[in-house]
Amino acid sequence: MSDAPAVLPPGSERPGPGEPGWAWRVNRAVVSLARAHRARAASLLRGLDLHPGQEVLLLVLADTGPTTPGRLAGALSIEPPTVTKMVQRLEGAGLVRRDPDPADRRSTVVSLTPAARERLHGVDEAWTVLAEETLAGLDERERVDLVRLLERAAAGLPGATCR
């Protein structure tokens, strides 16, 4: 299997850094990986009755404990209305609950239910499968290098959450 993109812009032959077509090649590879990764994640999460992104919200709650929707939005780098919809759906599925914030009765605190804690075991398994499939064609050194390089590349973009 070749590492060359299936289709290159007209007149380009696997451009390298600084050459015409290089930006296209970089961005195409990143987009292709992101799309395939998200599609496979969706497939694995479907077996857990979750949609991509919901598992991350559950993982954040598992790490932070009960927290406000505003703090969840910040931790997930998404807008508060998006968190509100996610929490409503997860609450409907019995995976989170909302209670009045003891420090500010005008606000709510979101927490995991016991059902969510059980579901997190499946999320860990799904993420392990996803990571293994994503890195399947790489040896151990390449895996370490790729993760390090992806983290560095993400850190160069505004709004990156890979720190």
How far apart are alpha carbons 56 and 39 in whole angstroms?
Answer: 15
Per-position pLDDT tens, the chain of length 163: 445 445 555 555 676 777 777 888 889 999 999 999 999 999 999 999 999 999 999 999 999 999 999 999 999 989 999 999 999 999 999 999 999 988 888 889 999 999 999 999 999 999 999 999 999 999 999 999 999 999 999 888 887 766 4
CB crowding 107-145: b at 16 or more within 10 Å, else e: ebbbebeeebeebbebbeebbeebeeebeeeeeeeebee
How many helices (H) and strands (E) would you count in the chain?
6, 2
Summarised one tens digit per residue, pLDDT across range 94-136 is 999 999 988 888 889 999 999 999 999 999 999 999 999 999 9
**Number of domains the chain is built from:** 1
Give the torsion sign (CA, 39, 40, 42, 46). Answer: positive
Q: Is residue 7 part of a domain?
A: no
Beta-carbon neighbour count of residue 42 at 10 Å? 13
Positive or negative CA dihedral for 120, 48, 60, 41? Answer: positive
What's the domain range around 128? 22-133
- Let me know: does 96 contact 113? Beta carbons within 8 Å: yes
Residue 62 lies in a domain: yes
Phi, psi (deg, nearest 5) at residue 124 = -60, -45
In a domain, 63, yes or no: yes
Q: Is 5 within a domain?
A: no
In a domain, 144, yes or no: no
Residue 142 lies in a domain: no
The residue with tokens 């804690």 is 117
Inside any domain, residue 153: no
Hey, what are 48's tokens?
């857990």
In a domain, 48, yes or no: yes
CATH code of the domain containing 49: 1.10.10.10
